[in-house]
Amino acid sequence: MHVALVDQVTKPLQGITKEVQSSMEAGKQGMQNMATGGAGLVATGFAIQNALMPAIEMDRKLGEVKSLGVIDEDLKQLSKTALLTSVQYGKSATDIVGASYDIKSAFGDINGAELSDITKSSAVLAAATKADTATITNYMGTMYGIFKNSADEMGTGLWSKQVAGMTAQSVEMFKTTGAGMSSAFTSVGANATAAGIAMEEQMAILGTLQSTMSGSEAGTKYRAFLGGVAKAQDELGLSFTDSHGNMLPMLDILEKLKGKYGDTLSVAESAELDKAFGTKEATAMIKLLMADTQGLAGSIETLGQVQGMSKAEEMASAMTDQWERLQSVWFAVRAAVFGAILPSINAVVGQMADGMMVIVGWTDEFPWLAEILGYVAIAGLSLGGVVATLSLAMGIGQMMSAGWAVTMTGLNSIMKLLRITTIASTAAAWLFNAALWANPITWVVAGIALLIGGVAAAIYWWDDLTAAFKDTAWFDVIAGAIEGIVDLLNMIPGVDIELGSKVDTPEVSAAVQAERNAPTSIQPMAFDAPEMPTGNGGSIAEYKQPGTVPTLPPSMVQNVMTTHKPQGGNMNSYGDVYITAPNGITPDQLAEWDELNAG
C-alpha cells in the first residue's frame, strides 16, 4: 500500500508541485525583470530630466518672454544677464527671467539691452531691499508709469539704475523697505509728477512719512495733500504755485505755512487747515513734515545726488548668502551646458510626441485597433496578476509554516525551562535535607523522638518484656532506667503513667488494681497486668515465685519460633530482548524520562 501510494499519489503530486513552483519562479523572475527594467528606465529618464531641468526651466521662462515679441538674440542676452546676476547675488535665475516678462509688458517697446538692464536693476534692488523680484518688478513698472517722460528722455536702462539706487538709499535713510516704497508710490500715483514734483522730493517725503506709518498710508496722505493744494491756497490766501502753474517745492509750502501759523499748529489752526485742504490726512502730513523741515531738506539733497545703482549693488552684496551663490552657480553651469544641446533634445522629444499623436490618430480612425490593444494590455496585466496571486498564496503558506515553527520552538523552550526549574527544585530540596541533617540540633531532636518512641513501646509492652527478660542480666538496669523516665514524666502536671508490673507499696489492694484499670489524664495505651495475690501475705517476693511467674502469649512464642522462608516463584528466561522505538528518542526526552523515574 505504501508503494502504491508513492506511485499513484506522491509522484504526481511532486510533479504538480514542481511545475507550480517552476511557474511561480518564472513569473517571479519575470516580474522582477520587468520591475528592474522599468525602474531602470524610469530612473534613467529622471536622471536625464534632472540634469536637463535647469536648461528646461530657463527655456520655459524664455519662451514666455518670447511670446511678447522678443527676438532670439535678445533672449540670449537676457538669459546671460539673468545667470550672471543670480550667480553674483545668489538669486534664482528663473525668477529673474520670469520678472522680465512683466517688465516687457510694463515698459512696452524696448530693445534687448534695455530689457536686460531693467531686469538686472530690478533683481539687484530686490536683493538690496529684502524684497522678492516680483514685487520690485511691479514697483519698476509703477515708477515707469509715473515718470515715463523722464525715463524715456534719460533712457529706460539708465533710468532703471537711477531708480534702483535712489530706492536703496531711501531704504537706508528711512524706516522703510522696497515693498513699502512700492506701496507708497502706488497710492500716490502720478499726482505729484503731474504737479511738477521731482522724483527725489517725492521719495524723500514718502520716506519721511513712513517713519510713523505704513507705505500705503503715507501715499494716501500725500495724495490728499496734493489734491487739496489748489483749494487751500485760495482759502488761506497763500500761493502754492509758481508762475507756470506748477506746485512749489514742499519746503517752500511749509515755509509759507510756518510764516502764517508758526512752527506748530494749535487745535484751531489744525481745524482751519482741515477745512482749507478738505481732509484731515493732508493736515496730518503737514504737521509731521513741519516738525523737521531741515531733515526733509537734507533727505531731498542726498537723494538728488544719487547716480546709478551703486548703492543698491553695495547693499545687495552685503546681504548675499554665499551658499545661495554656490547653489546658483551649480544651476547656472547645468543651464549653460545642457542649454547648448537642449534644442536637439527638444527636437527628439518633439518627434516622439508626434509619433504618439499618430497612434492617437489611428485609434480615432480604427476604433477596433484601440479595442484590441486595450484587451491585450489587460490580458498581460491579468496574467501578471495571476502570477502575483500565486506568489502571494505561497508567501502566506510560508509565513504560516514559519509561524508554526516559531510557536513550537517557543513551547519547547518553555518545557525545557520547566524541566530546568524542576531539576533546580529537586536539587534545592536535597540541599535543604543535607543542611538539615548536618545541623546538630536535628540529631538531638531525632534522638529525643527515638527515645520517647522507645519509652512508649516499653510502657506498652512492659508486662511482656518483664516476663520475657526478667532473668536477663542487663534487664534490671534497663528496667530501672525506664522506671526513672516514667517517674520524670509523671512529674509533669496532668501526667500519670503506670507500668504494668510496677508496685509502689508492699501491699497491692483491689483499689489500686481498679485505679490502674481506670482512664487517666494521659492514657496512650492499656496495660494487662497479671493478677497479684490479694491476701495479707501478698508481696513482691510471692509474686516472683515460680508458680506465679507470667508466661508469654502463645502467639508471640509461635512468631518467635517460626522460621520464615521466602516463597518460591516461577521465572522464565528468554534470550536478549531489544526494544526499538519507531521514531527514536531524543537526548532531551531521555533526560526527562530519567527525571520522572527519579521523582
- Tell me: the pLDDT tens digits for 455-475? 677 776 767 767 766 666 676
Please report how the helices 215-236 and 280-290 are oriented relative to each other, as an axis angle in degrees rounded to 10: 100
pLDDT at 187 over 50: yes
* pLDDT at residue 527, rounded to an integer: 40
257 vs 484: which has the higher pLDDT: 257
pLDDT at 99 over 80: yes
Mean pLDDT of 214-218: 92
pLDDT at 418 over 50: yes
Q: With bands split at pLDDT 50, 70 and 90, how would you rate the model's confidence at 281? A: very high
pLDDT at 545 over 60: no
User: What residues have CB less than 8 Å from 319, skipping those under 6 apart?
Assistant: 127, 128, 130
* pLDDT at residue 445, rounded to an integer: 64
* pLDDT at residue 352, rounded to an integer: 80
Three-state DSSP state, 584: coil
pLDDT tens column, 285-314: 999 999 889 999 999 999 999 988 999 999
User: How far is Cα 345 from Cα 88, in angstroms, rounded to an integer?
Assistant: 30
- Residue 458 has phi, psi (to 5 degrees) of -65, -40
Lowest mean pLDDT among 191-200, 321-330, 392-401, 475-484: 392-401
pLDDT tens column, 567-584: 555 555 555 655 565 666
Lowest mean pLDDT among 12-26, 397-411, 435-449, 516-530: 516-530
Lowest mean pLDDT among 92-96, 114-118, 319-323, 554-558: 554-558
* pLDDT at residue 53, rounded to an integer: 86
What's the N-to-C CA distance of the chain in angstroms? Answer: 44
Lowest mean pLDDT among 99-103, 505-509, 560-564, 581-585: 505-509
* Long-range Cβ pairs for the range 59-67 (8 Å, 24+): 59/339, 59/342, 59/346, 61/94, 61/97, 61/98, 61/101, 62/97, 64/98, 64/101, 65/97, 65/100, 65/101, 65/104
Lowest mean pLDDT among 128-137, 428-437, 548-557: 548-557
* pLDDT at residue 302, rounded to an integer: 93
* pLDDT at residue 6, rounded to an integer: 55
Q: With bands split at pLDDT 50, 70 and 90, how would you rate the model's confidence at 523? A: very low
* pLDDT at residue 348, rounded to an integer: 81
pLDDT at 146 over 50: yes
Percent of the chain with pLDDT over 90: 24
Q: What is the mean pLDDT of the chain?
A: 77
Mean pLDDT of 380-402: 66
Mean pLDDT of 181-193: 91
pLDDT tens column, 153-178: 999 999 999 999 999 999 999 988 88
User: How far is Cα 141 from Cα 122, in angstroms, rounded to an integer?
Assistant: 10
* Range of 26-35, 317-326, 526-535 with top mean pLDDT: 317-326
